[in-house]
Structure 1
């Protein structure tokens, strides 16, 4: 089970961080806990926080469908084999994807937050990978030729 912060939950629900805090104060986000009386951690159920509805008032306007806001880090086995056989020692072996779109490739990846490593040989990823890393956090990708690229779950910024 993955946990997110109030900012990440707000991004997933397409509401403000303040609204998430109000829902937390009312006890409407299922499974949310406060750590050290300071930081909220919110569990995800099928990629989204679960929110209890009220009996009165308008219906909520947040999106209830699962967004693909998570980044997945893939390992390119073909490039690893080619680099090992010295056919081309500079091929990038890591790629960061959001859904099916490739955001960046590189030689090193730094994940700035919680992540999980997934191994599913019976149900491979859409690209055919059986091992990958999933995260909602930002990822810094280092390519030895291109430089540093920081991937967030909403946009990509080039660091110089």
Structure 2
């Protein structure tokens, strides 16, 4: 007797019940959760990012924390549309661009907020991407169009200063 065939033979009869159960339990791929690619940093950076995850505020720009999928200590989110933080990202190419360093790139600007230095890049779809500079790990924050970027950076500054020391990222 073929056990594999026997076990599969009852599956078509159970499929409608499985679909109904999944729908009732909320097993939907089209939910309203934000998503973010999880970075793959070094072990040293992962430790810093986990410390940052614990130091992050519960609210940013008045929005409650609502982490993106997939769940990770390297990502965090607030609000809808989501403000997304990713820790342990690669150094952005514009960070070493001489046009940015000399202030001649209109789409990227360097500056500091509450003791944290940032590279600010205007996103094609609207909003901005900020990446920390002069820290032991690169932390990226995407801010949707219409959200007060300065408020976001002010709210995140103390956690970043506490968890990610000044230094040069790997």
Check whether TM > 0.5: no
Q: 1 or 2, which has the higher strand percentage?
A: 1
State the TM-score bracket (shorter-chain normalisation): under 0.3
TM-score where L is the length of structure 2: 0.23
Q: 1 or 2, which has the higher helix percentage?
A: 2
